[in-house]
Amino acid sequence: MKELNEKLIISIAGALLIIGLVFNFLFPSQKSIEAKAPSAIKEYSPIDIPEAMAVNVEWPKAKEQAKGEMFDLFTPPEIYLNENGEFVFRPPYAIMPQGSLGIYLLAIKPDPYRFQLEGYVEEDRNDQSKTTILIHSVVDGKMLRLSPNAQDSNYGFKILDWRIDRNFSGDQNTEVIARLKLEDNLTDRIINLRHDKVRNEDSTEVVFKVIKTNEIYVLSKVDTSFFVGDFEYRLDSFDSENNTALVTKLSPDSDPITHLLSIFKASEQSADASNKDNELDKPASIEEAFNSFF
C-alpha cells in the first residue's frame, strides 16, 4: 500500500510539472518578454529617391520581316497553322475588298537593275577564288558565270568584292547571304547586289486609279502621297514580287485607315457590280418584304 501511494504521488508531481511547463510556454511572463526584446532599436531614416526624367523617344518604323509582313513592337503578328500544316501570319492592318478605299491599285512597274545576282557555285568554302558567281543579265536574259575577280568589257562592269556571310543564331540555324560589289562602267556607279534580293532602280512606278473620277496617279517612292479632294492617299510600302501596296487614307474628319491593296483585275469589278445588283434586288427590311406581297 505504501509503494502504491509513493507511485501515485510521483505521478501527480510529474503531471503538475508538465502542466506548469506548458502553461509557462503558452503564457510567458512580462519579464521574459522584456528580456527577449532588443536593447537598442535603430531609428528609421528615409532615403531620397531621385525624380525620373522624361525622355522623348521616336520609335522607328516597322521593317519588312518577310514578304508582305510588316510588324512593329506594338502590333505583334498572329501566327497559326492552316490546313496544310504551314505557318500563316495575320497582318495587323486591314485587308478590305477592292474599291473600299476609293481607289484601285492598277500596276507596280519596277525597273530592275541590269544585273542581278542569281547565286553561286562554291567549290571550296575556305577558298572563295574557286567559287563561280552566277549573274543574270536582264537586258539579254543571259546567265554569266564569272570568277570573284572577273571583269567583262562587253557588259561594262568589274567585280570589286565578293563575300559570303554566314550568321549563326542561338538555335544553330545558319543564315547565308552572298554579297557582290561591282563597278558599273556604263553608269559610273558602285552597285551592291545580294542573291536573296532583287536590285531595282529608283524609278519604280506604283499606279493608282480613282474609282469615281477614273483619274490616274503614279507614285515612285514610299511616304509620298496624292490628294483626291479632302482625302490624302499615302503610299507606306509596296511589294513588287507579290504585287501589293500598303496605303493609308487620311481624312480631316476621321482616323487614318490603312489597307493592303492588290493589283486590280477587271473581273473583280464585274463581280462587285453583280453583288451590288443583288443587294438592290433584296428587300431593305421585313416591312418592305411584307408590302411587296400586297
Secondary structure (H, E, C), 213-249: CCCEEEECCCCCEEEECCEEEEEEEEECCCCEEEEEE
Would you kindly state where each structural domain of the chain is located, as residue ranges?
Answer: 64-93, 103-110+202-265, 115-194
CA dist 177 and 230 (Å) reads 46
Give the pLDDT score at 81: 65
- Burial level of 68, CB count in 10 A (0-12/13-18/19+)? middle
**H helices within the chain, ranges in order?**
2-26, 30-36, 266-281, 286-291
First CA to last CA across the chain, in angstroms? 121
Of the candidates 167, 191, 163, the one whose C-alpha atom is nearest the C-alpha of residue 178 is 163
Give the pLDDT score at 75: 57
Handedness of CA 165, 167, 173, 177 (dihedral sign): negative
- Burial level of 135, CB count in 10 A (0-12/13-18/19+)? buried
Give the pLDDT score at 140: 92
Give the pLDDT score at 283: 45
CA dist 120 and 132 (Å) reads 6
Give the pLDDT score at 189: 93
Give the pLDDT score at 39: 62
CA dist 157 and 180 (Å) reads 12
Low-confidence ranges of the chain (pLDDT < 70): 1-5, 25, 27-41, 60-84, 87-99, 169-173, 266-294
* 73, 59 contact by CB (below 8 A): yes
CA dist 163 and 47 (Å) reads 58
Give the pLDDT score at 120: 93
